[in-house]
Amino acid sequence: MRAVVIERFGDPDGMVVADLPAPVAGPGQLVIGTEAIGVGGVDAVIRRGTLGGRGAAGGLVPGSEVAGTVTSVGDGVDTAWIGRRVWAFTGRGGGYVEQAVARIGDVVALPADLTSTDAVTLGSAAPVAHFALEHARLVPGASVLVRGAAGSIGIAAVELAVRGGAGTVAVTTSSAERGRRLRALGATHVLDRAGSGDALAPDAFDVVLDVVGGADVGRFIDLLAANGRMVMVGAVAGMPPADFGTALLRSFQRSRSFATFSLDTVPTAARDAFRADAFAAAARGELHAVVDTVLPLGRAAEAHRRMDAGSVFGRIVLTP
């Protein structure tokens, strides 16, 4: 089968198309004929070699979520899954393939009227956004700032914050056009990447949800209100500087807090229940799966170049 492997860690050109043996489902596993493959920020971090190891001999296959039709199952898995359309988490790799393997506990059945492309746009992003906002103790009337709102997690966070009753939902983004699209999804204020540029936006926020990380984390801590909570869910710009915590200490009397959030800390049953609800809401048109581009599997390097350039709004999806 065709797959994309990381032959050399670093820039996107280190990813190549290879012919790998077709997978066989082991105990508790399914094989899925992929119809759509999500391209996420964590894939780029892994490709750069800054997360995880070098993988097995022959190259590491990136990608963590796919959607498609179950073609075979291993021991311990009900054969009724064969022929069903599903979304699946493949772990920290193994998704950029024509046939993917997943554990039965990492598979969710899809509604008949939800496309595979929409499924991989929401399947990871919506649960991350939902549980991160929960981690930040979002309450009705709160003011929220989503840093890096143009990606799939950020877009989901905007819509879910609105649904959660947030009084203000501000976003950072890089262009007026992206700001216009985010307002259409519920954002009330649009800031530039430095967190300024909208005179009507609040001076401080109860919740800051950060998908970006990098050198400016301290600047966004400074935008927290008293008792404000900043939750970092991604680091597409790299890790914060070692001294970023001094921003908290400088404002000790304002009782601000900073936390990281990983979906790995949420029980599987809770993740799957919310994911199924999100898929159903998307099928009803209540959540939006914003797809930037659909590209063939062989153009995965192009997808990563676009992510690195910061030119993506929503999610890039690969198709075999």
Tracing tokens 């001999």 back to the chain, one arrives at 57
Counting beta carbons within 10 angstroms of the beta carbon of residue 269, is it exposed (0 to 12), middle (13 to 18) or buried (19 or more)?
exposed
Q: Is residue 272 part of a domain?
A: no
149 and 175 Cβ atoms separated by less than 8 Å: no
Please write the tens of the pLDDT for every residue from 76-110.
Answer: 999 999 999 999 999 888 999 999 999 999 999 99
The verdict on pTM exceeding 0.75 is: yes
Tell me the two tokens of residue 23. Answer: 């997978």
Say which DSSP state 60 is in.
B
Q: Is the dihedral of CA 22, 25, 29, 32 positive or negative?
A: positive
297 and 303 Cβ atoms separated by less than 8 Å: no
- Closest residue by Cα to residue 79 from 56, 104, 96, 58: 104
Q: Is residue 284 part of a domain?
A: no
Q: Is residue 277 part of a domain?
A: no
Q: Does one domain contain both 54 and 151?
A: no
Q: Is residue 232 part of a domain?
A: yes
Q: Does one domain contain both 59 and 178?
A: no
* pLDDT value for 41: 86
User: Among 230, 246, 264, where does a domain finish?
Assistant: 264
CATH of the domain at 136: 3.40.50.720
- Closest residue by Cα to residue 38 from 108, 96, 84: 96
Tell me the two tokens of residue 125. Answer: 């992003």
Q: Does one domain contain both 194 and 67?
A: no
Q: Is residue 38 part of a domain?
A: yes
Please write the tens of the pLDDT for every residue from 201-213.
Answer: 999 999 999 999 9
Q: Does one domain contain both 57 and 89?
A: yes
- Return the SS3 of 194: coil
Q: How many domains does the chain have?
A: 2
Q: Does one domain contain both 170 and 247?
A: yes
Tell me the two tokens of residue 28. Answer: 């508790």
Q: Does one domain contain both 46 and 175?
A: no
Q: Does one domain contain both 79 and 47?
A: yes
- Closest residue by Cα to residue 93 from 65, 133, 58: 65
Task: Please give the Cα distance from 109 to 220 (Å, whole number).
Answer: 38
Q: Which residues pair with 3 in a beta bridge?
A: 18, 97
> pLDDT (tens digit, 0 to 9) for every residue of the chain, 320 residues total?
999 999 999 999 999 999 999 999 999 999 999 999 999 988 988 898 876 544 444 489 999 999 999 999 999 999 999 999 999 999 888 999 999 999 999 999 999 999 999 999 999 999 999 999 999 999 999 999 999 999 999 999 999 999 999 999 999 998 899 999 999 999 999 999 888 888 889 999 999 999 999 999 999 999 999 999 999 998 888 899 999 999 999 999 999 999 999 999 999 999 999 999 999 999 999 999 999 999 999 999 999 999 999 889 999 999 99
Q: Does one domain contain both 216 and 301?
A: no
* pLDDT value for 216: 95
Q: Does one domain contain both 202 and 245?
A: yes
Regarding beta strands 224-232 and 205-210, do their DSSP bridges make them parallel or antiparallel, or are they unpaired? parallel
CATH of the domain at 63: 3.90.180.10
Q: Does one domain contain both 173 and 246?
A: yes
Q: Does one domain contain both 166 and 227?
A: yes
Alpha-carbon torsion, ordered 319, 272, 93, 75, to 10 deg: -100
* pLDDT value for 51: 63
What is the largest distance, in Å, between two alpha-carbon atoms of the chain? 60
Measured CA to CA in angstroms, residue 192 lies from 174, 176, 178 at distances of 6, 9, 11
Task: Please give the Cα distance from 305 to 227 (Å, whole number).
Answer: 39
* pLDDT value for 197: 87
* pLDDT value for 238: 86
Q: Is residue 269 part of a domain?
A: no
For residue 7, which phi and psi values (nearest 5 degrees)? Answer: -80, -30
Counting beta carbons within 10 angstroms of the beta carbon of residue 2, is it exposed (0 to 12), middle (13 to 18) or buried (19 or more)?
middle
- H-helix or E-strand spanning residue 257: strand 257-260
Q: Which residues pair with 250 in a beta bridge?
A: none
Domain extent, residue 53, equals 2-109+290-319
Alpha-carbon torsion, ordered 68, 72, 76, 77, to 10 deg: 30
* pLDDT value for 280: 96
Tell me the two tokens of residue 24. Answer: 């066989």
Task: Please give the Cα distance from 89 to 53 (Å, whole number).
Answer: 19
Q: Is residue 279 part of a domain?
A: no
Q: Is residue 278 part of a domain?
A: no
Q: Does one domain contain both 147 and 213?
A: yes
Alpha-carbon torsion, ordered 274, 275, 280, 285, to 10 deg: 100
Say which DSSP state 2 is in.
E
